[in-house]
């Protein structure tokens, strides 16, 4: 009997926008799959994905190149980068034991107490954004809520002034474009300038925190001290701030828009949460499982090895697909169904697992719970503004998020 094939064309726009059917074939037939004619091994299944995450020395995250993409080979960009600080492997692109030092130090800025203390603040921020459009009975949800909320949260946490908040999104988009988009040299140069602009801006913020400490994440990063670990130096602090910006903004924004669309598509589930707001934290977990905004992350085999029965050569690249593992029927019954009361017997992997587990997961959960609570409190009968226009997902291998989401509702 011939082995059933998985149909994946990494350059096909339809696959990049709607990959779930291909992921399902992958999970069922080849949980670890070497894509023919492409230098990529895709990991679809929950078990092999978890195994790879738990072996960071074999499946390495170390790849500084990926932070600035192809731009580091572009002489025009190199000249710009020389005016800033060097990229250092701190968190996302690092391995133990070096990664362990950074994680210990940066964790000091993400304590439970800090996140719990932000609850009222997050609700007030969400409320203020809703005030801006609630009387209209309609809004461009991404531009008016899903993008500004995470930008404001990060700006506030990183000490970026209110007048510069718009830059948070511009900088974070620049980093994300450099990681994942094929661009002309001129486009790369534009992004490289933004990278260095961000570094100089943050350097001033860091200096200011040293002389005028505040109660915020940046002050905690500057002052982070653990045991006998060397404190973070300037280039390391800048890289950590950059990693936080990249990791926090797009992910949370995609969760808000994708999550709201799922509520619109499932009015009976939405009604259940409205009737029982205590279900909101579980609903957020279910949305993280189904929307999983960080679809996948890269790893490189540091040695010849094997995963899920597939022989892997040193240097081969693997794409660990959190999005796919979160719909593995072995762990999640009826995996494509949105169930706000799902009993999570296995944890989803939207925040990854192992040494690279998301540092901001408590903060993200708090922000999402507060945001959805205020949305449901203040808006009723939420629908698509034009139900004949189905919102589209962006074409991306790494992130999963909607391009637009225009909604209508009645103010409560």
CA-CA-CA-CA dihedral for 94, 98, 104, 105, to nearest 10 = -90
Q: Which lies closer to ligand HEM via its Cβ, residue 358 or residue 370?
A: 358
Q: Which lies closer to ligand HEM via its Cβ, residue 191 or residue 400?
A: 400
What minimum distance in Å lies between the beta carbon of 411 and ligand HEM?
27
What minimum distance in Å lies between the beta carbon of 371 and ligand HEM?
11
Q: How far is CA 69 from CA 99, 175, 318, in A?
A: 21, 9, 17
Q: Is 260 helix (H, G, I), strand (E, B) or coil?
A: helix
Q: Which lies closer to ligand HEM via its Cβ, residue 188 or residue 396?
A: 396
Name the residue whose CB lies closest to ligand HEM. 360
Q: Which lies closer to ligand HEM via its Cβ, residue 80 or residue 158?
A: 158
What minimum distance in Å lies between the beta carbon of 352 and ligand HEM?
3
Q: How far is CA 34 from CA 37, 39, 237, 291, 398, in A?
A: 9, 8, 37, 25, 18
Question: What secondary structure letter does DSSP report for 127?
Answer: H
| Secondary structure string (H, E, C) spanning 14-65 | HHHHCCHHHHHHHHHHCCEEECCCCCCEEECCHHHHHHHHCCCCCEECCCHH
What are the φ and ψ backbone dihedral angles of 321, each rounded to 5 degrees? Answer: -100, 90
Reported for 10-15, long-range contacts at CB under 8 A and 24+ positions apart, including other chains, are 10/35, 10/38, 10/40, 10/397, 13/395
Q: Which lies closer to ligand HEM via its Cβ, residue 77 or residue 299?
A: 299
* Residues near ligand HEM (CB under 6 A): 61, 91-92, 103, 243-244, 247-248, 251-252, 255, 293-294, 297, 322, 350-352, 356, 358-360, 363-364
Q: Which lies closer to ligand HEM via its Cβ, residue 130 or residue 241?
A: 241
Residue 188 in tokens: 């790369």
Confirm if 366 and 345 have CB atoms less than 8 A apart. Answer: no
What minimum distance in Å lies between the beta carbon of 292 and ligand HEM?
7
What minimum distance in Å lies between the beta carbon of 329 and ligand HEM?
21
What minimum distance in Å lies between the beta carbon of 322 and ligand HEM?
6
Q: Which lies closer to ligand HEM via its Cβ, residue 25 or residue 63?
A: 63
Confirm if 382 and 407 have CB atoms less than 8 A apart. Answer: yes
What minimum distance in Å lies between the beta carbon of 350 and ligand HEM?
5
Q: How far apart are CA 368 and CA 252, in angstroms?
A: 8
């Amino acid at each position: 009997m011939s082995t059933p094939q998985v149909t994946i064309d990494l350059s096909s726009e339809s696959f990049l926008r709607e990959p779930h059917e291909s992921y399902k074939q992958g999970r069922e037939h080849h949980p670890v799959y070497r894509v023919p004619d492409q230098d990529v091994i895709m990991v679809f299944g929950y078990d092999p994905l978890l195994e790879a995450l738990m072996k960071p020395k074999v499946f390495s995250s170390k790849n500084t190149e990926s932070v600035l993409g192809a731009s580091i080979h572009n002489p025009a960009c190199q000249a710009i980068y020389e005016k800033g600080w060097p990229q250092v492997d701190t968190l996302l692109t690092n391995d133990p034991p070096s990664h362990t030092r950074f994680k210990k130090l940066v964790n000091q800025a993400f304590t439970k107490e800090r996140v719990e203390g932000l609850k009222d603040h997050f609700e007030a921020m969400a409320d203020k954004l809703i005030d801006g459009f609630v009387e209209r009975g309609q809004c461009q949800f991404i531009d008016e809520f899903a993008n500004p909320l995470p930008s404001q949260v990060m700006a506030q946490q990183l000490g970026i002034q209110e007048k510069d908040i718009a830059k948070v999104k511009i900088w974070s988009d620049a980093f994300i474009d450099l990681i994942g988009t094929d661009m002309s040299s001129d486009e790369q140069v534009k992004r490289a300038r933004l990278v260095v602009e961000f570094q100089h801006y943050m350097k001033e913020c860091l200096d200011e925190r040293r002389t005028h400490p505040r109660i915020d994440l940046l002050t905690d990063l500057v002052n982070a001290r653990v045991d006998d670990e060397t404190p973070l130096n300037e280039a390391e602090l800048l890289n950590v701030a950059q990693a936080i910006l990249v990791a926090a903004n797009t992910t949370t924004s995609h969760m808000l828009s994708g999550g709201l669309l799922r509520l619109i598509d499932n009015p009976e589930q939405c009604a259940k949460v409205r009737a029982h707001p205590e279900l909101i934290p579980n609903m957020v977990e279910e949305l993280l499982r189904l929307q999983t905004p960080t679809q996948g992350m890269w790893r490189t085999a540091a040695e010849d090895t094997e995963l899920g029965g597939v022989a892997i050569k040193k240097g081969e690249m693997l794409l660990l697909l959190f999005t796919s593992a979160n719909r593995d029927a072995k762990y999640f019954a009826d995996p494509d169904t949105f169930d706000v009361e799902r009993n999570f017997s296995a944890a989803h992997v939207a925040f990854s697992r192992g040494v690279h587990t998301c540092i901001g997961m408590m903060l993200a959960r708090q922000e999402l719970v507060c945001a959805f609570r205020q949305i449901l409190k203040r808006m009723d009968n939420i629908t698509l503004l034009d139900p004949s226009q189905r919102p589209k997902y962006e074409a991306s291998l790494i992130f999963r998020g909607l391009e637009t989401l225009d909604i209508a509702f009645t103010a409560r």
